[in-house]
Structure 1
């Protein structure tokens, strides 16, 4: 078995420019020129969390945030997708009862948001949106606002006509799930998720079977995850397989277990676990092919979560890496040209929102 390094290094992440607005549970996306757009999410107002409509952009050239035009409606549980033309960004859904059917397009050059005239067929929040190689955006599942019920509905956004069309439904309805675009650019793996908000106090979402989307249809894979989990992180590896790590296990505890989905055999196999048990964290594949795990919550050892971890797929080895300045969860991690930027999130202890951003230089 590969060796886990538990010698914690002393070097820290680099403190970067802070967000203008502290926020959590928001999407972030890298634009064609390497800038980063964040929109919506939760903000704190008079000690209460509120849905936000504000947006800001991080400039990769001067490492500063600036405000841009607000969304037309406040959004939480929404997605951001950079469209094929490189100048437009699609945002879809929210937990609002009315606006959950809506989508907007952001024009980067004019700094304007406009509603997509053709609304979606259901209210959606906590769905996923994946840009396919054919330039269509696959929008999968989601929670039907205010019902707490998950959806099996899947739609495609067609950028050329600025419309949504319906495609094959999921076999198992879900929201709060993870989707990974596989190497062919057209097949999509969907992992985990939740049936209903009413199961939030029950066992975690351990019964959700993994499905794969191919040519408009969904099918269950040959062999499902070995260690059932929720609130995990997943990333596509350089060899076309998928790394799934951490999360909450069936006993409601954070786990350090890790497994790899083999895209050829459609089966999972356990690999070396992380040094830290963590959920609600991020995984980022670096240009080297290594994978960076950052932040999280629910670990029994707070000190452990201050350290990022690096996974080397060739050696099947995790090693503890640089020290975070802020322990956080519900943040975003965006790969820039020569660094990874960690954005916002919630503080580890008091669950307060934070503006702080920090950088991991490669």
Structure 2
């Protein structure tokens, strides 16, 4: 086997690309009719894509910061991307259907943290000189026949010089950590139009998936941030995507409605996940089947479900779930039927529903009062939008970003002030996007990630500063995606997972 590997390295073809500002020059070896083969899980790809050619598979690897190797399956056009190059090279197997490519030179990794060391030296010199002089004179006179006089003078001089040098060195080290994204463990199932819920124990529960008119999933899995791993948990009874999930006050998770097959077949079924047992149980059905609706936890613990699509028509209906009785009751209808809207619970306990579409996009806003069960039309947004995001800021205002107006994709953002009931423009995003995510970070800024701009799926991310009303770029995600989820973890990091990138549904996840 060792000789075969040597031959591989002798016959490989070296291809050089210069891709992007941060990729520099990267060389990849190309080994035809060989694939990675090993028993342990580190040989699993971190991303699977469908690409039409080997060249596009190579480019897909070069576009991912952490990609170190790729395998292209000619019969299926499947492109597998890997991170652990050294491990994969050690396990190769002949396969006439596969071409394997390995990064052998160049770097596209994010810059390492920058460390600056400043050294200050202080030297103090002290010199002490001590001189002692002693003189003794002795005179002796003796008188005889002759006179002799003897004089003796003795002088002793002692000089002591002491020099002390004290050197003090002070070193200050400043480390700057670059903001950015890191790949974490892959999900067990590729997902889009799924839900992500943060549990009381800090784990993240993912449920369901809608795979573009093909199928839905009834699987669920848990992310453990302490290990960066995903594990399956209990499956629910009805496979679904485009549903909603709500964490109840007792810590259980309620999933409602969704599509069950083709995007037009909807369900009114509702199930509850118990984190203590890892199991799902059916609870009372909604009165209306619906998908692409909203679900909001009210201050009294009830769940308000509003709008969506029944599979045959857009909905104005809204209903309330009582966790104590596991029952649903109609509440007042909205004034406008809508899906792909947003719903935000304000500090007052009222619920702000914004935008959406019912064949046409619109800017209309309604406010739900739980004390009366009624909806009130209030001031419109400045821009009609659907598939946007809405975030409640620390100051109580609601930030709405991006989306589509049904003819173009939006960079605009605006703020709702509950005190005045008015909307005002704030700074535009740098990139137009819909089906993106928006997360309020611990410092009050808002992180927007990914989405779709009408021509491509995005890996860009940007931050909104509420103090200045401005947006700034932050590090790009490793994988472009839209229709994904984002969850702010207890440690302040943001977990992004799944979605769609134009080539297929993703199982990759990353941390900001």
Q: TM-score, normalised by structure 2?
A: 0.62
In structure 2, the CA distance between the partners of 1:310 and 1:98, relative to structure 1 (3 Å rule), is closer
Q: Which structure has the higher relative contact order (CA within 8 Å, separation 6+)?
A: 1
Alignment of 1:23-38 (within 5 A): 23-38=191-206
Counterpart among 242, 248, 253 of residue 83 in structure 1:
248
Partner Cα distance (1:37, 1:244) in 2: 26
Partner Cα distance (1:299, 1:172) in 2: 26
Partner Cα distance (1:52, 1:167) in 2: 30
Between Structure 1 and Structure 2, whose CA radius of gyration is higher?
2
Counterpart residue number, 1:115: 282
Counterpart residue number, 2:460: 307
Counterpart among 385, 396, 419 of residue 264 in structure 1:
419
Counterpart residue number, 2:479: 326
Counterpart residue number, 1:275: 430
Counterpart residue number, 1:220: 377
In structure 2, the CA distance between the partners of 1:182 and 1:154, relative to structure 1 (3 Å rule), is same
Per-residue deviation, 1:52: 1.1
Whichever structure has more strand as a proportion of its residues is 2
Per-residue deviation, 1:63: 1.6
Counterpart residue number, 1:233: 389
Report the 3-state secondary structure (helix = DSSP H, G, I; strand = E; otherwise coil) of the residue aligned with 1:40.
strand
Q: List structure 1 runs of 4+ shifted beyond 3 angstroms.
A: 7-12, 96-99, 299-302
Q: Deviations over 1:7-29 (max 9, x none)?
A: 99965411111111001011111
Counterpart residue number, 1:70: 235
Query: Do 1:143 and 1:150's aligned partners in 2 also have CA atoms closer than 8 Å?
Result: yes
Partner Cα distance (1:313, 1:98) in 2: 41
Structure 1 unmatched runs, 5+: 1-6
Alignment of 1:85-104 (within 5 A): 85-86=250-251, 88-96=252-260, 100-104=267-271
Aligned CA-pair RMSD? 2.0
Counterpart residue number, 2:355: 192
Q: Deviations over 1:171-195 (max 9, x none)?
A: 11222211111123x2101011222
Partner Cα distance (1:38, 1:84) in 2: 19
Counterpart among 315, 335, 339 of residue 175 in structure 1:
339
Partner Cα distance (1:267, 1:236) in 2: 15
Per-residue deviation, 1:59: 1.2
Per-residue deviation, 1:121: 1.3
Partner Cα distance (2:438, 2:391) in 1: 6
Counterpart residue number, 1:353: 505
Report the 3-state secondary structure (helix = DSSP H, G, I; strand = E; otherwise coil) of the residue aligned with 2:320.
strand
Structure 2 unmatched runs, 5+: 1-20, 23-109, 112-177
Query: Do 1:73 and 1:99's aligned partners in 2 also have CA atoms closer than 8 Å?
Result: no
Counterpart residue number, 2:448: 293
Q: Deviations over 1:195-253 (max 9, x none)?
A: 2xxx3xxxx512x51101012110011x2111112221111111111101111135x22
How many residue pairs match? The answer is 332
